[in-house]
Amino acid sequence: MSPLTRAGATKYLASRVKNEVLVSNLGQASLDLLAIADRPLNCYTFGAMGQCSSIGLGIAIGRPDVRVICLDGDGSLLMNLGSLCTIAAEAPRNYVLMVWDNEVHQTTGGQATATARKASLVGIARGAGVEKGIEVRTQEELERAVDRILKEDGPFIVVVKIDKGPSTAPFDQDLIGQASRFRKALAALPAV
Amino acid sequence: MAEQSWAKHVADVLRRNGIRLYATVPDYIVSHVLDELWADPECRVVTTTREEEAVGLLSGAWLAGHRGALLMQNSGLGNCTNALASLNMASMIPMVLVMSHRGDLGEFNPAQVPMGRAVTHILDALGIRWIRPMSIAELEHQTDGLVKLCYVSSQPVAIVLPSELTGGKRG
């Protein structure tokens, strides 16, 4: 059992961000972020399993002056591992990929993913060419990792090992409204 | 007989409609368009490992204020169908899809034929408006309107490039 929970880590990260963009994965990551720390600069993604890291990469390329932090899941990232190669090749300095790694497909009932067995996402990312990789297992390690990603140039991958368990937060069906609100909020953020 | 300048016309209609960001999984036919874009310092081309990833990337770029186009083979439409449906159609995120039409007239590879038959049906099933210009004149005539429709409807549109326009790929 990990001492960290997705809700607790989300709450901590949200307390540290200001003008950073948070891009959350479908299911658990978006439900928790929406319930705990809703803000216009959150980009919730409820479609296209696997695409959270790629959507964040597109935002980071489109707004190189804004730091973009993706909140992906282990099951989703495992579905789009090629994204790590593209992140490494494009190497946006303003890009961070955080992964809530609970080693299960939580939304579908808790079936084990490959990270429960042999796979290391930091190791895979390193092989893809993402050199700044951090694995986090405690609150202290999380705080140190957040210090770094808010200060240093990326791209980063931060894999946060979290406890299993589904979000209890409700689902907001207004996907078009959420995307539109985010797009307007980002456009209104003055270019640095 | 296809005119060799078709690829420059495709690149030009995209550029004159304000598209500067491109994502691609290359194919022999669209590579002629990519050559034009790679040579243009105002354009950025990101090569992804799979077409679905390109859909995600261009969707993010749209949310950050940029128009984008995805250049691929029609087989790639199969690799990104769910993303187009559950992300772009569901959340109304526009992008321009540009795909070669393998598996149609003159095809040499049997593996291309089933997807060649399916491509426009998949686009129709998704509700994605498409054009299939048979000549440079048709391309020039239809594309500005298609791109305008893309952004006014806030949904993806597709340009399917038939072998009559491009000359296809010889086996």
Asked if the model's pLDDT at residue B12 lies above 70, the reply is: yes
Beta carbons of A82 and B91 less than 8 Å apart: no
Name the percent of chain A in helix, strand, coil, to the closest 5: 45, 20, 40
pLDDT at A23: 98
Cβ distance of A183 and B63 shorter than 8 Å: yes
In this predicted structure, what is the pLDDT of residue A41?
Answer: 98
The answer, for A45 touching chain B at a CB cutoff of 8 Å, is: yes
Q: Are B21 and A61 in contact (CB under 8 A)?
A: yes
Q: How far is A140 from chain B (nearest CA, A)?
A: 32
Q: Which amino acid is at B149?
A: L
State the Cα–Cα distance between residues A14 and B130, nearest whole angstrom: 42
Do A142 and A136 touch, CB atoms closer than 8 A? yes
Q: Residue A2: its pLDDT value, please? A: 77
- Provide the shortest C-alpha distance from residue B48 to chain A (in Å): 6
User: B86 — contact with chain A (CB < 8 Å)?
Assistant: yes
Asked whether the predicted pLDDT for residue B43 surpasses 90, the reply is yes
> Is B82 an 8 Å CB contact of chain A?
yes
Query: In the predicted model, what is the mean pLDDT of chain B?
Result: 97
pLDDT score at A1: 67
B47, B54, B61 member nearest A61 (Cβ): B61
Count of CB atoms within 10 A of residue A20's CB?
A: 16
Report the percent of chain A where pLDDT is more than 90.
Answer: 93
Average pLDDT of the segment spanning A31-48: 96
Query: What residues contact residue A137 under an 8 Å CB cut-off, 6+ apart?
Result: A2, A3, A4, A161
What pLDDT is recorded for position B4?
Answer: 81
Rounded CA-CA distance B2/B20 in Å is 26
CA distance linking residue B68 with residue A62, whole number of Å: 10
**What's the sign of the alpha-carbon dihedral A10, A14, A17, A20?**
positive
Interface test with B, best of A25, A54, A87, A174 (most B CBs within 10 A): A54
Residue B91 has pLDDT above 80, yes or no: yes
- Contact list in A for residue B93 (CB cut-off 8 A) is 179
Residue B1 confidence class, pLDDT cut points 50, 70, 90: low
* Cβ atoms within 10 Å, residue A146: 22
Give the CA-trace dihedral at B116, B121, B125, B129, to 10 degrees.
90
Q: Is-cis flag, bond preceding B133, omega within 30?
A: no
Contacts of B64 in chain A (CB under 8 A): 58-59, 61-63, 183, 186
Whether B90 sits inside 8 A of A50 (CB atoms) is no
Tell me if B71 sits within 8 A of B33, measured CB to CB. yes
Structure tokens at A116: 């429960």
The answer, yes or no, to whether ipTM is higher than 0.90 is yes
Of the candidates A58, A86, A180, the beta carbon closest to that of B64 is on A58
**B20/A contact by beta carbon, under 8 A:** no
Reported pTM: 0.97
Which residues of B are less than 8 Å from A85 in CB distance? 49
- Which of A41, A61, A124, A181 is the best mutation test for B, with the most CBs of B within 10 A? A61
Q: If you average pLDDT over residues B54-74, what whole number do you get? A: 98
Q: Residue B46 is nearest to which of A52, A90, A182, comparing CB atoms? A: A90
Cβ B110 vs Cβ B141: under 8 Å: no
Q: Would you state the pLDDT for residue A97?
A: 98
Looking at every residue in chain A, the average pLDDT score rounds to: 96
Q: Does A41 touch chain B (CB under 8 A)?
A: no
A177 touching B, CB under 8 A?
no
Please check whether residue B57 touches A, CB under 8 A: yes
**B77, B123 in Cβ contact below 8 A?**
yes
Q: Is B57 helix (H, G, I), strand (E, B) or coil?
A: helix
Which residues on neighbouring strands pair with residue B46, listed in sequence order?
Answer: B23
| For residue A145, pLDDT beyond 90 | yes
> Which range among A2-6, A27-31, A119-123, B93-97 shows the weakest confidence by mean pLDDT?
A2-6
B130 part of contact set with chain A, CB < 8 Å:
no
In angstroms, rounded to a whole number, what is the distance separating the alpha carbons of residues A76 and A29?
A: 11
- Count CA atoms closer than 13 A to A102's CA, side-chain side: 25
The per-residue pLDDT for range B136-155, each reduced to its tens digit, is 999 999 999 999 999 999 99
Whether A24 has its CB under 8 Å from any CB of chain B: the answer is: no
Determine how β-strand A111-112 pairs with β-strand A104-105: antiparallel
Rounded CA separation B79/B67 (Å):
21
Q: What pLDDT digit, counting tens, does each position of A109-134 carry?
A: 999 999 999 999 999 999 999 999 99
